[in-house]
Amino acid sequence: MRMGEESHDTHQELWEKYMEVEHKELEQRQNGQLGRALPGESQEELGRIAEEDLRRAQEGLVELRSGDEIWYKHINELTRDDRQARIDSENARAAWIRERLSRQPRPQ
């Protein structure tokens, strides 16, 4: 095996692992893993967000983001070029969760 082939195999293996994680996350979303409203949040608004997310997940759609632009793509159509947009989307989601949790009262 030549060096270029080994590098290609490694990249392909990493891509397959990346996609495995994407599929697991999609499966979790299909199971409605968004949670309940925290104090001060609207259960109706969170329910609406969860319903939209569940619908997209059931359709196999994942969110991509670049700055303020958001779009959705079927998971089987993702390419390596989509990774940064997926990372940006996950970072925005994590920031939203952190912000929600920061408003939650601390146990005494």
Question: Residue 34: what pLDDT?
Answer: 61
**Domain limits, the chain:** 3-102
Torsion region of 81: left, alpha or beta (phi above 0 gives left; psi -120 to 50 gives alpha): alpha
Question: Residue 103: what pLDDT?
Answer: 78
Given a contact cutoff of 8 angstroms between Cβ atoms, the answer to whether 29 and 54 are in contact is yes
One pLDDT digit (tens) per residue for the chain, 108 residues? 555 566 778 888 998 998 998 988 888 888 876 666 777 788 888 888 888 988 999 999 999 999 999 999 999 999 999 999 999 999 998 898 888 878 777 666
